């Protein structure tokens, strides 16, 4: 896969809840990395690329919510999710989390 990231990503260990409306799907996964524009979650329960999802990440007692879309799937590792809509208060929380993490 070619490198298409717009910003650095950080190793991250939050718990993510991924939901879809049609079909009604709910999975709980670990976030392996995080950036301002998305995250990578470790899972073997893949969703097709382009699937619209709800993302709820819990970390250190705080909760981040966003709408997103499955951007890519790595069949033995997990899937990348691009954030598409994020409320201003959730953006502020995300940026605070990112300041605390090691970038790579």
Tokens found for residue 79 = 């899937």
- Average pLDDT in the 39-49 region? 93
Chain-wide mean pLDDT for the chain?
Answer: 90
With a threshold of 0.85, does the pTM exceed it? yes
User: How many domains in the chain?
Assistant: 1
Asked if the structure places residue 76 within a domain, the reply is yes
Asked if the structure places residue 45 within a domain, the reply is yes
Structural domain of 94 = 11-100
Residue 2 has pLDDT above 60, yes or no: no
Cβ-contact 16, 56 below 8 angstroms: yes
CATH of the domain at 64: 2.40.10.220
| Residue with more model confidence, 26 or 21 | 26
Q: What are phi and psi of 4, to 5 degrees?
A: -125, 10
Asked if the structure places residue 2 within a domain, the reply is no
Asked if the structure places residue 3 within a domain, the reply is no
Asked if the structure places residue 6 within a domain, the reply is no
């Amino acid at each position: 896969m070619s490198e298409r990231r717009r910003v650095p990503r950080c190793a991250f260990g939050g718990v993510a809840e991924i939901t879809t409306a049609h079909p009604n799907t709910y999975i709980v996964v670990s976030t392996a990395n995080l950036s301002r524009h998305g995250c990578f979650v470790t899972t073997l329960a893949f969703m097709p690329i382009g699937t619209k999802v709800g993302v709820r990440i819990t970390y250190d007692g705080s909760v981040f919510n966003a709408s997103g879309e499955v951007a890519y799937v790595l069949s033995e590792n997990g899937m990348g999710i691009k954030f598409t809509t994020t409320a201003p208060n959730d953006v502020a929380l995300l940026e605070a989390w990112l300041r605390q993490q090691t970038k790579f």
